[in-house]
Structure formats: structure tokens, C-alpha cells
Amino acid sequence: MQQRESAMQERAEKWPRIVKRGGAEVKIYRITNRGRTAYQTAHYIAGKRLLKNFTRFNAAHAHAEEQATLLSAGHLGVARMHENDREAFVAASRYLKSLPHSVPLLDAVKSYVTATQALRGHGSLLDAAKDYATRQEKSGPRKTISEVVEEFIAIREKLQSQGRTSIRDVQTLRTHLRRFAVALQMAIQSVQVRDVNEWLRANCQTAKTVNNMRTSLVRLFHFARDQGYLPQSDRTAADMSKREKRSESDIATLPPATLRTLLKEADEESTLWLTIASFTGMRTAELLRLQWQNFDFEAGVIRLPRVGATKQRKRQIPILPNLRAWLAPFIGRTGRVFASEKAHDRTIAAVKTKGVEWPHNWARHSFGTYRATLTKSIGQVSIEMGNSEGIVKRDYFDQHASEKDARDWFSIMPEHPANAITMKGASV
């Protein structure tokens, strides 16, 4: 009954039917041949008339609407396509419209090809997307890098106020991590290994700096994982980033004559800093935590305790004869050796006013190099400096400093030595 009514309605309408979209139009003709009815669409592209036949009116009408829409939008190339290609184009465009944001078809194809190439044959793009979505769901609330950085720094600052970490540690984290947050303004869950590698290479001058900044990033990402912002079972992007191999040029040795000159004009704070750092090889953070009660002048050693929340283990460092002479005026003091956390910065600033550049860890590297040259013992220097034997061999035994310079280094004495006590076991 419905078909009969549709047929009667067709006969009542005028032919050809015209489908218009904007300034474009497509005509539909009804053709009767030997009692059979067919339909034909007709339109022009670049002066050429294109015809297409259909057995059903609905199919002809749908084709006419599609062509008129394409012509009105200026998609002449699509309108000329082979039918299968055109249908694929239209269907792909329809799929893209289902997305919450507009994506051009060409951009979608490029993204698909790039992502498929990145998989290198390991599964399909759909599998990878599902796996990624699952990981994101497991990683908890999405947090920007900046949010995680400020949360982490706030906790480290609280630990520093409780004496459980040094201000140097907090300052380093602030400097490194805030720069990272400014450069990569995204969710921490979205950071890829290549993002970390590219940022490190773009912002670091030396291998030492790359590795130091990488260490700060590893700590940040481990914190994020501990807080539930990243999947618990996965290695982080920072863990998988590349460490730089250090070259020999990263290790600089201070000439003994230069240290002598600096000590002649140093104030009390700088004198303490330069002599203890140069003749014990302590790290900056260790120096800042140093207490006078750590010095056992009778036994001739400095006893460094284990520091909680860090990897530093307790160890003993010998008070060598020349250091004993420099420290003689301070015997009997109590409390902190350096009253201010800025002692290191002030000392290095004073050195630079003399026209002397101060490479990173210059005093520590000099101690390690000269001590290794004299003792010929990797194990002994490793224990005194709190480094692994592998690092001591690489950084200090392979520097080939002269024995004359090494003896000269540990012979630097104050011009007017104070009365010093005799200590056990203190020798070069």
C-alpha cells in the first residue's frame, strides 16, 4: 500500500526533480523503458555533464543530495572521484564528525600513519590506544607537571625545616624542576621519554649538568608515582631517559699555588670552607651539615653520621696534618661549623672577585685526584670520599696528576700556624 502511494506521489510531481544546495543543483530524471522505470542524476563539473543511473528513486535522491553538498562546499575534486573512493571519503568525514572536537581528514590520516609507524609492527593502533587509556585510568587523578613540582618542593621544604635535608638539596630541586615545569606545560601522565631527553639536551651544557638535572627529574617522577599520579608498576619517563657519559674534561683540578693565594686573603668563613673542602673532599651538602662535634681531634678523624632520608652512610675522614694546622684555632668550638647555608655561595663569590673561575666541585675533585696520586689505593680514597671504587678510578685515578703537585697540595699550611694538638693516625 505504501509503495503504491509513493508511486502515485512520484507521478503527481514534476520531472526532472531538482536538488539544490547553495548555488549548486543536481537534477533527477525519471526514465521509462519497456514498462520499467529508472532514475538518472545529472550535474555539471567544469563544463562537463556527469550522468549516473539508479533503479530506485531513493538511491538517486541520496546521490543527488551528496553531490549538491560537495559542489556547494567547493569539493570539486571529491565530486569527480570514483564512486567507491567518494563513498569512503564521505564515510570517513562522517566518522570524524563524531569526535568531540573537529579534526581535518588529512590530519587524522597523518596521525594514524605516524602512530602506526611508531608501533613498529607491535600490535595495532587500537590495541595501543586501549592500553594507554587503561594506564591513564590506573594512574589516578591527572596532575600538571607544575602542580606535582610545587607539591614535591613543599614537602622537601618541610623536611629541610625539620633538619632532615639540606637547603642545598631544596634549592637544587627548585631550580631544576621549576624550569622543567615552565618548559613542559602538560599533565605529568603525558610526558614521554623523548620529552625528557629533548629538554635535558636543550638546557644543559655538560654531561655533569645533564645527569644532575636528570636525577632531579627521576626524584620528581618517583614522587608522582608514590602519590598515585603514575602507574605503580611502570618505569617512568625520567627513569628511561638517557644518562650522559662524562668525559675527563668534567673533572678539573685546582693548582696548589692558586689555593695558596686564595687562602692568604680569605676571611674566617672562606678559610674554613676552602681548607675543609680541599683537604677532606667533602660534598657541599656534607659541609653545610657539619658540626664541630663531628671532629675527633684526639683520634685524628672527622666522623660523619648517616643522614636520614638520603643515601649518605656514616664514614670517617682523616684529619690530615695540614688541615689540623688550619683548624687549630677552632678547637673547642661547638655547634655548626658554618652558621649560614649561604657559606658556600659566599665563598665561591669571594673567589670569583679575585678573577678565579670555580668549576663545579673543584675542591672535592682536587682532593680526590691528589689523594689518589699519593695513596695509590682506590679502596682508601673510595671510603674517605664516600664514592664507589668505580667512580674513584674513573674520575681520580685516571687523571694522572703529578706527585709533586699532590705533595704540594697537602703541604699547604697557614703562614702563622696556631698551637696544634698531636693526633693519632693522621698522616698523608
Q: What is the pLDDT of residues 367-409, one digit of tens each?
A: 999 999 999 999 999 999 999 999 899 888 877 789 999 999 9
Q: Which helix (H) or strand (E) holds 33?
A: strand 24-33
Q: Give the C-alpha separation, 369 to 393, whole Å.
A: 10
Return the higher-pLDDT residue of 308 and 218: 218
User: Model's pTM, two decimal places?
Assistant: 0.54
Q: Which helix (H) or strand (E) holds 43?
A: strand 36-45
Return the higher-pLDDT residue of 425 and 199: 199
Q: Which helix (H) or strand (E) holds 296?
A: strand 295-296
Would you kindly state where each structural domain of the chain is located, as residue ranges? 2-113, 145-246, 250-409
**Superfamily of structural domain 250-409:** Intergrase catalytic core (1.10.443.10)
pLDDT at position 351: 94
pLDDT at position 426: 39
Query: What does the buried/exposed string (b/e) look like for 61-76 if buried means 16 or more CB atoms within 10 Å of the residue's CB?
Result: bebbebbbbbbeeebe
**What residues contact 248, with CB distance under 8 A and at least 6 apart?**
398, 399
Percentage of the chain modeled with pLDDT above 90? 46
pLDDT at 422 over 70: no
CATH architecture of 145-246: Orthogonal Bundle (1.10)
What confidence category does residue 427 fall into, taking pLDDT thresholds of 50, 70 and 90? very low
Mean pLDDT of the region 243-258: 79
